[in-house]
Structure 1
Amino acid sequence: MPRTTDSNTSLSLTAASLSALYPESFSGEEALNALGSQTLNGLNDGASLTLTNTVATHVTATLHNDALTRPMDALVAEIRQLPADATAEGYQLVLRPWLWWLTLASNNRVFQNLSTSDIVTTIFKAHGFSDFLLKLSGSYTPREYCVQYAETDFIFVSRLLEEEGIFWFFTHEEGKHTLVLGDSNDAFVPIPNGPKVNYLGQQLGERELHGIRSGQVCMQAVAGVYRATDYEFTTPTTSLYSQAEAVAGPRSMYEHPGSYNAKARGDSLTKQRVDGLRSQEKRFVGESDCRWLVPGHWFTLAGHDDTTLNIDWVVTAVTHEASHDGYQNRFEAIPKATPFRPQRTTPKPRMHTQTAIVVGKAGEEIWTDEYGRIKLQFPWDRDGNNDETSSCWVRVVLPWSGKGFGMQFVPRIGQEVIVTFIDGDPDRPLVTGCVYNGDNALPYALPANQTQSGIKTQSSKGGGGFNELRFEDKKDAEEVFLQAQKDFKINVLNDTTATVGHDETLTVQNARTRTVKEGDETVTLEKGKRSVTIQTGSDNLDVKDSRTVKVGANQTHSTGGNYEHKVTGNYNLTVDGNLTIKVTGTLTLESGASFTIKSGADLAAQATTSISQKAGTSLSNQAGTSLENKAATTMTNDAGISLTNKAAASQTVDGGGMLTIKGGLVQVN
């Protein structure tokens, strides 16, 4: 049985949980931006190994070349027993880097305002891994909204790194392997025990020759130009078109969307993309027994007949075959002078329509920004707090939108909305509508009100009130209902025409004001009656100019109290028939100047008790033919100074019983 530790062997094993295992053979592959795996076969001539304690433990397989070594560390992903022989038990180990453990976990979650490096390192640490090194020279804009959806953690991390043009590889030491993240060729390190590697060709020699046995250059056709564009809604007229060119020509790649929202970001990404195309153009493919070739490490080729190949090369992939009898590998490399960027081979999930709940700040009912965007909580998001931090601002589709015009409805906290994703991109959600659910019932109960449709809002904050426009389409009960919870304002810049086919009722609980600023107002009642009733209060009519009232038939005016009519100018009253003024109390007619009563026929003044005529200066009663003053009992004509009764022809003064004429001086002529 070979020894478990042998300084002269080509292969040795260091593993605390597998110290009794003797390695027989080792094979596997490594590559830039690839997990790789190795298979190790070994024998155990002692007690059976405890398999349950070996999975996820470190195993370091060391390749030897005299005093020089090359460790390859990994974790045990699988161990199986092989058929035993008479002397020993056989075991096979599948070894993988710690990053592979991220393939065993998947998630649906949201990362906000974090750079790619922050996101991936957060995931590494969440898995309990800290053996990573960032060798990033670029600056990375935080991702406002980044979604992992139905992806393993490894797929998600790989996708983000590829999108940013970040490559990765491992460095190895006994009991440890470190993930290195890089974004420029400066991140590559020299191979162990290098960097010089001789090109041996088919020379025969001892182990110390240790070089490349064969190698061929491979040239591949690639596109030389990369173009991309995208759209940013906050600057809709700004072109985000970007172009990067390695080799001018008709072969170009064009991508939309380019997954960026700023021109500078687009320029950077297109440069990365074209570098990724160029890095596939020239490769050096070969076989060797050089144990030091490690992906992400560079070597200097020496001794090749084609001196143009004696340059620095970066190893991109290696396949190992090792046993105690020897070692060989197959490898690929690219010129170190060629910028390397990984290919974007990991697809981004394409999301279909989903539903989400509108969320916002605690204590608020509406949470929005200047663009009418809202925040969402998806049902699959276990980390969201159902508040304003649960998502990015999400735009809302409306039937109409324009520059300062269109429709405006902001979904409110607690509503369920339909969410689609622009180009299926999980990082670009878009709300397309709202749906009712068990908590949010329809405004009109169904199916009882299935003929009703409309818009009903809710007062905020606190609710309790609403504005509503409702249509009832039930046959013979059609109705349009409009409610304003508080004020109702209509602004018509030109004409308004309304036609009511039957009755109209207007009820105003408080005051009503109607103003016609310029022009005429016409109210026409073609047929029927008009009634105005003021049950409590007064009626004031103020006409600055003329007023005409025309009544085709009778008019009755009833005043419960006093009636006062004041005319600043003249007052003319024309009656085609009779005029009767009936006063229960006293009737007073007073003129500041002359007072004339004129009758085309008779004029009669009659009082049940007495009639008094009084003039401050003179009083004249005159008749064209005769004038008669007659009293049934007594008649008195009294003047303070003089009294004259005069007739042009004759005058009769007759006392039926007695006539008395009295004066300080009586003259009868």
Structure 2
Amino acid sequence: MTVRPKLELESGESTLQVRRVSVTERISDIFTVDVLARSSDVDLDIAAIVGKGAAMGAEAELGTIAWSGVCNHMEQIKPANESTGRSSYLLRIVPSMWLLTQRRGHRIFQHLSTPDIVKQILGEYSIEPKLVISETHPKHEYRVQYGETDFDFVARLLEEAGITFTFDAQVSGGSAESLLTLCDTPQHAASVGPIDYFDTPNDGRITGFFITDVRLAHGVRPGTATYRDFDFRKPRLALRDSSEFPLAEGEKVEDPYEHYVYAPGISLIEVDGADDLQAVADDKSIARHRQEENKRRAEIRAEALRYGKRKVNYRTNHPELTAAAIFSIDNHPRSQLAADKTLMVIESTMHITELEWTVLGTAVFAEVPYRPEIRTPKPRVAGVQTAIVVGPPGQEIYTDEYGRVRVRFHWDRKGAFDDNATCWLRVSQAWAGTGFGSMLVPRVGHEVIVDFFDGDPDQPLVVGRLFNETTRVPRKLPDHKTQSIWRSASSPQTDGYFNEIMLEDNAGKELYFVQAQRDLLTLTRHDHTERTAEDRTAVVGEARVAAVGWSDSLQVG
């Protein structure tokens, strides 16, 4: 077989002659095309090629195939030698999606589904994906890209949602791009058809496509995935769901192998309505924990864990067996690999020279629901952070029915200083009981300490407060370092208007001071005893009224 490789570069460089090509593809990963080429130009302008559009194609009697993207790496591996007069170069072509690995940051996404978030990020790179989405993907109230590259964030969200991404190889050149496809049911794609199996394909009988070196492999995988969540609105409800993968009779031994994960917030999604709507808490959206979402995520996890339970490795000359391609094997003696058993390619490596192309691949059975392997770790916040409490313009105190607040993180470059900055954050109090405890609501503009449930950046909560240069301490320090103070501030804020309890602990000057900015009301439900060891002075600015229900006595001396 004669193969005619063709390299096209956006830079217009045309002196490179392709000698060898290696293409690696994998479901939910970036393909790489490594090209070994020669040129008569020993001073080839590498900088003009790297970062620009590039396409690598191959044509033969059996068909054509091409990959398009950008050249992200090029090097001269050998200068011109005396025998050939040509220099050797190595190029790597990757899809434009690879550029997502070059940007890392922090930002917040609210009220968007996973496909919507992914489309937004890809759009920033002028990438328009093809969506093959058959399932319903709910909107998330709050998702954070926390110190991740754009690629890792996108890959993680897609893995969590059970959505694969692949690149459709196509015949195109220059800056044209291999089409990015997002799909949640890749096993349902159309088949390229059965491929004839040959044990010894090099005996001269074969003129078309063949598949050989077929190896069926079985492995051990967990049989169950379980997620557990907690809903503060329904603290006594156990949000737990398991998904047991349907196991064949010979696989029942894997039933006890469970992946149990406590994942706060995993079942929290935005819904259209609820029977416990609240005016302020639900002012932006209605987000609730749902048992069915917990179950859906457990099912996705179970299907991802079963990835690779049964694999088929092979060698072929069929160029269309790229990642996510569906096919079957004809004439294989093993019944499990009969022509009616469809397979899906999960990874492949194609080697191309001027004489042949060879594809080494791995496939799984398409009858089994496929989910991408969960391999992108979610970042964890290593410690606490501080943030500023925010709210709508003109409001000094902004809270909901649960005493929650919204904040703006210092790392958030895109969020505004208003009530759209984050989701609601629960606020830790000194005491929280059933209708009793303490309640101190952080006010707009105040600096608070934020921690995260299990280090999850999607699950923030306020655990403390801090003074700073703008929100100063109530008494000058260190001048009044012996004073312990609990001081509030009238709202709307008016300078010098406050309620206060102050304890002065300076030896010999101890003082317990109470100030009511307007009215002071005390209620004693039984006896009230006051004892003054020495003098007592009462000053009434206007009227004094005393009402005694039974008797009044005064004893002097």
Pick one of 309, 315, 328 that aligns with 2:358. Answer: 328
Deviating more after overlay: 335-344 vs 250-259: 250-259
What is the Cα deviation at residue 189 of structure 1? 4.4
Q: 2:531 aligns with which of 481, 499, 505?
A: 499
TM-score, with structure 1 as normaliser: 0.74
Cα distance in 1, alignment partners of residues 153 and 179 from structure 2 = 20
Partner of 1:121: 119
* Conservation of the 8 A alpha-carbon contact between 1:301 and 1:309: yes
User: 1:446 is matched with which residue?
Assistant: 477
Q: Residues of 1 paired with 2:199 and 2:312: CA distance?
A: 14
Structure 1 contact 135–187 (Cα < 8 Å) conserved: no
Unpaired runs of at least 5, structure 2:
268-288
Deviations 1:263-288 (A, max 9, x none): 11101111111111223211101222
User: Which of 128, 137, 141 lines up with 2:138 in the alignment?
Assistant: 141
Q: TM-score, normalised by structure 2?
A: 0.89
The answer to whether 1:275 aligns with 2:275 is no
What's 2:332 paired with? 304
Equivalent in the alignment of 2:179 = 178
Mean CA deviation greater in 500-509 or 378-387: 500-509
Match of 1:12 in 2: 6
Residue 478 of structure 1 and its aligned partner are, at CA, apart by 0.3
Residue 62 (structure 1) aligned to one of 47, 52, 57: 57
CA-to-partner distance for each residue in 1:408-436, whole Å, 9 max, x for gaps?
10001111111100100001101011011
Query: In 1, distance between residues paired with 2:443 and 2:539?
Result: 34
- Aligned counterpart, 2:291: 263
CA drift of 1:47 comes to 8.3
Paired position in structure 2 for 1:402? 433
Alignment map for 1:471-486 (pairs within 5 Å): 471-486=503-518
Distance 2:394 2:509 in 1: 42
Partner Cα distance (1:227, 1:406) in 2: 35
Preserved contact between residue 232 and residue 262 of structure 1 (Cα < 8 Å): no
How many angstroms apart in 1 are the aligned matches of 2:108 and 2:17?
A: 47
Q: 1:88 maps to what in 2? A: 86
Q: What residue identity is the alignment partner of 1:92?
A: L
Distance apart, 1:90 and its partner CA: 2.2
Letter in 2 for 1:62: G
Paired residues of 1:278 and 1:338 also in contact (CA < 8 A)? no
Pick from 452, 455, 461 the counterpart of residue 486 of structure 2. Answer: 455
The letter for the 1-side match of 2:136 is S
Go from structure 1 to structure 2 and tell me whether the alpha carbon gap of 1:200 and 1:14 turns closer, same or farther (over 3 Å shift).
Answer: farther
Shift of 1:38: 2.1
Change (3 A) 1:49 1:205: farther
Q: Secondary structure at the match of 1:272?
A: helix
Specify the SS of the correspondent of 1:377.
strand
Q: What percent of counterpart residues are identical? A: 30
Measure, in 2, the Cα distance between the counterparts of 1:210 and 1:511.
107
Supply the distance in 2 between the matched residues of 1:510 and 1:200 (Cα, whole angstroms): 109
Distance 2:190 2:94 in 1: 22
Q: Secondary structure at the match of 2:229?
A: coil
Match of 2:446 in 1: 415
**Which residue, 364, 380, 393 being the options, matches 1:350?**
380
SS in 2 for 1:197: strand
Pairing partner for 1:387 from 414, 418, 437:
418
Distance 1:59 1:208, change over 3 A: farther
Unaligned runs of 5+ in 1: 1-6, 528-669
Deviation at 1:494, TM superposition (A): 1.3
Deviation string, structure 1 residues 38-76 (Cα, Å, up to 9, x no partner): 210112236854333322333222233305112222321
State the secondary structure of the residue aligned to 2:169.
strand
| CA–CA separation in structure 1 for the residues paired with 2:187 and 2:318 | 23
Aligned residue identity for 2:366: K
Amino acid of the residue matched to residue 364 of structure 1? Q
For the residue of structure 1 that corresponds to 2:130, the secondary structure is strand
* 1:435 counterpart residue number: 466
Do the aligned partners of 2:343 and 2:366 also contact (CA within 8 Å) in 1? Answer: yes
Within the alignment, does 1:340 sit opposite 2:340 as a pair? no
Distance 1:479 1:25, change over 3 A: same
**Aligned equivalents of 1:19 and 1:146: distance in 2?**
46
Aligned pairs for 1:253-652 within 5 A: 253-257=259-263, 259-260=266-267, 261-310=289-338, 311-351=341-381, 352-464=383-495, 465-517=497-549, 519-525=550-556, 527=557
Report the AA paired with residue 52 of structure 1.
A
Say which structure, 1 or 2, has more relative contact order (CA 8 Å, 6+ apart).
2
Task: Report if the CA contact (8 A) 1:136-1:184 is conserved.
Answer: yes
Whole-angstrom CA distance in 2 between matches of 1:10 and 1:218: 35
With over 3 angstroms needed to count, the CA separation of the structure-2 counterparts of 1:462 and 1:444, relative to structure 1, is closer
Q: CA deviation at 1:14?
A: 3.2
Change (3 A) 1:513 1:53: same
The alignment partner of 1:51 has SS state of: coil
Distance in structure 2 (CA, Å) of the matches to 1:486 and 1:187: 72
Q: CA deviation at 1:210?
A: 2.9
Letter in 2 for 1:200: F
Which one of the candidate residues 164, 167, 170 is aligned to 1:167?
A: 164
SS in 2 for 1:466: coil
CA distance in 1, matches of 2:412, 2:435: 36
SS in 2 for 1:123: helix
Post-superposition shift, 1:224?
0.9
Deviations 1:235-270 (A, max 9, x none): 222221111111462111111026223211101111
1:360, distance to aligned residue in structure 2 (A): 1.0
Partner-residue secondary structure (3-state), 2:536: coil
Q: Deviations over 1:418-456 (max 9, x none)?
A: 110010000110101101112221112111111101200
Q: Which moved more, 1:314-323 or 1:197-206?
A: 197-206
